[in-house]
A and B are shown apart, each in its own frame.
Chain A
Amino acid sequence: MDISWFIVLSAFIFCIGAAGVMTRRSPLVILLCLELMLNAGNLALIAFSRMVGNVEGQIFALIVMVVAACEVVIGLGIIVAMYRRKLPIDVDDMAELRG
Chain B
Amino acid sequence: MTATSWGWLVLAFPLAGMLVIALGWKVLPDRVAGWIGSAAIGGAFAAAIAMLIDLQDQPEEARSLVDSAWTYASTGGFSVDMSILVDPLSVMMCLIVSGVSFLIHVYSVAYMESDRSYKRFFAYLNFFVFSMLLLVLAANFVLLIVGWAFVGAASYLLISFWYRRSTATKAGIKAFVINVIGDVGLVIGAFLLFDATGALDYAGVFAQVPEAFAHNDGQLVAACLLLLVGAFAKSAQLPLHTWLPDAMEGPTPVSSLIHAATMVTAGVYLIARMHPLFEQAPAAADISAVIGTLTLFVAASIALVMTDLKRAIAYSTMSQIGYMILGVSVFAYSAGMFHLMTHAFFKALLFMGAGSVIAAMANEQSLDKMGGFRKAMPFTYATFTAGALALAGFPLTAGFFSKDEILAYTINRGDWFIALAIVGYITAFMTAVYAFRLVFRVFHGEPCEQARELEGGHLAHAEPFNPATGEAEDTEAGFPGPEHHIAEREGAMKAAMGPLALLAIFAGLVQIPGVTDVIEKFLEPTFAGSHYAHDHPSDSAEYMGMAVGALISIAGILVAARIYLWRPGTSAKLQARFAPLHKLLANKWYFDEAYDYGIVRPMTALGRFGRTVIESAFVQGFLVGGTVGIVRAGSSFARSIQTGEVRAYAAVLLLGLSAIVLYFLIVAS
- Please give the residue numbers on chain A whose beta carbons come within 8 Å of chain B beta carbons, in ascending order: 18, 21-23, 25, 30, 91-92, 94-99
Contacts and interface: CB of A to CB of B under 8 A. Distances in A.
A95 B644 contact: yes
Contact of B639 (A18, A96, A99): A99
A49 B536 CA distance: 112
Given A23-B647, A96-B644, 9 more contacts: A18-B650, A18-B654, A22-B651, A22-B654, A30-B646, A92-B647, A97-B644, A98-B642, A98-B643
A96 B645 CA distance: 9
A91 B647 contact: yes
A97 B646 CA distance: 10
Which 5 A-B residue pairs are closest in the complex by CB-CB distance?
Answer: A99-B642, A95-B644, A99-B639, A98-B644, A97-B644
B531 to A, nearest CB: 85
29 contacts: A18-B650, A18-B654, A21-B647, A21-B650, A22-B647, A22-B650, A22-B654, A23-B647, A25-B647, A30-B646, A91-B645, A91-B647, A92-B645, A92-B647, A94-B644, A94-B646, A95-B643, A95-B644, A95-B645, A95-B646, A96-B644, A97-B642, A97-B644, A98-B644, A99-B638, A99-B639, A99-B640, A99-B641, A99-B643
Nearest to B655: A22
Nearest to A96: B644
Contacts of A92: 645, 647
A91 B642 CA distance: 15
A91 B643 contact: no
Contacts of A21: 647, 650
A66 to B, nearest CB: 23
A30 B647 CA distance: 9
Nearest to B647: A22
A27 to B, nearest CB: 8
Interface in B612-667: 638-647, 650-651, 654
Interface residues of B, number: 13
A4 to B, nearest CB: 15
A93 B413 CA distance: 103
A23 B654 CA distance: 13
Contacts of A22: 647, 650-651, 654
Nearest to B648: A22
B116 to A, nearest CB: 63
A18 B649 CA distance: 12
A95 B647 CA distance: 10
A94 B645 CA distance: 8
A14 to B, nearest CB: 10
Contacts of B639: 99
A92 B654 CA distance: 18
Contacts of B640: 99
A99 B647 CA distance: 16
Contacts of A94: 644, 646
A74 B406 CA distance: 101
B643 to A, nearest CB: 6
A94 B651 CA distance: 17
Nearest to A25: B647
A37 to B, nearest CB: 10
Contacts of A97: 642, 644
A92 B646 CA distance: 7
Contacts of B644: 94-99
Q: Pick the most buried of A21, A91, A92, A99: most chain B CB atoms within 10 A of its CB.
A: A99
A21 B657 CA distance: 15
Nearest to A98: B644
A91 B640 CA distance: 19
Contacts of B645: 91-92, 95
Contacts of A91: 645-647
A92 B644 CA distance: 9
Nearest to A33: B650
A2 to B, nearest CB: 20
A92 B650 CA distance: 13
Q: Pick the most buried of B640, B641, B646, B654: most chain A CB atoms within 10 A of its CB.
A: B646
A58 B626 CA distance: 56
A96 B643 CA distance: 9
A22 B639 CA distance: 22
Contacts of B651: 22
Nearest to A34: B650
A99 B641 CA distance: 7
A91 B645 CA distance: 7
Contacts of B654: 18, 22
A24 B643 CA distance: 17
Contacts of A95: 643-646
B152 to A, nearest CB: 59
